[in-house]
């Protein structure tokens, strides 16, 4: 009788450990699980974004060329490539809003917003998706 109880106890413990292990594995690899950020700065730090749509990428003798626009954020600075222009500057966040200024022209202000639900960044009125971190 004692031996049977030990076998049953061992089986119960094994089942519990397998269940816990499976729970951990599925939690870790759940593709729908989203990272929780405290504000926009944390969400965009060391990240690169690309415009959702092809936009005007510069002019040629044949006319405008469509291209994606890109923006990256790192350590309070941004690099923004749009059309045939590149800009750099600094930014700060207030909640999910982002305020930026150009290094060379401090009076050039930009505003942005990071949607924590969709992961979409809106910068100077254009929507961007995260392409890397």
- What is the reported pLDDT for 60? 87
pTM assigned to the model: 0.71
- What is the reported pLDDT for 133? 64
| Cα 68 from Cα 17, distance rounded (Å) | 49
Q: Which of 123, 113, 114, 108 is nearest to 55 (CA)?
A: 123
- What is the reported pLDDT for 2? 59
Phi, psi values for residue 53, rounded to 5°: -120, 155
Helix (H, G, I), strand (E, B) or coil at 42: helix
73-88 residues labelled b (16+ CB within 10 A) or e (exposed): beeeebebbbeeeebe
| Cα 69 from Cα 86, distance rounded (Å) | 10
Phi, psi values for residue 11, rounded to 5°: -65, -45
Q: Could you tell me which CATH class the domain 40-132 is placed in?
A: mainly beta
* Residue 114: Cβ-neighbour burial (10 angstroms; 0-12, 13-18, 19+): buried
Ranges under pLDDT 50 in the chain:
5, 9, 11-32
129 contacts 119 by C-beta, under 8 angstroms = yes
Residue-range domain boundaries for the chain: 1-33, 40-132
């Amino acid at each position: 009788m004692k031996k049977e109880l030990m076998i049953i106890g061992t089986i119960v413990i094994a089942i519990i450990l397998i269940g816990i292990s499976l729970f951990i594995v599925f939690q870790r690899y759940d593709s729908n699980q989203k990272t929780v950020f405290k504000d926009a700065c944390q969400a965009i730090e060391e990240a690169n974004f690309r415009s959702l749509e092809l936009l005007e990428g510069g002019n040629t003798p044949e006319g405008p060329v469509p291209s994606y626009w890109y923006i990256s954020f790192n350590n309070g600075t941004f690099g923004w490539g749009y059309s045939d222009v590149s800009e750099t500057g600094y930014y700060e966040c207030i909640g999910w809003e982002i305020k930026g200024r150009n290094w060379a022209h401090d009076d050039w202000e930009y505003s942005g917003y990071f949607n924590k639900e969709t992961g979409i960044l809106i910068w100077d009125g254009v929507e961007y998706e995260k392409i890397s971190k």
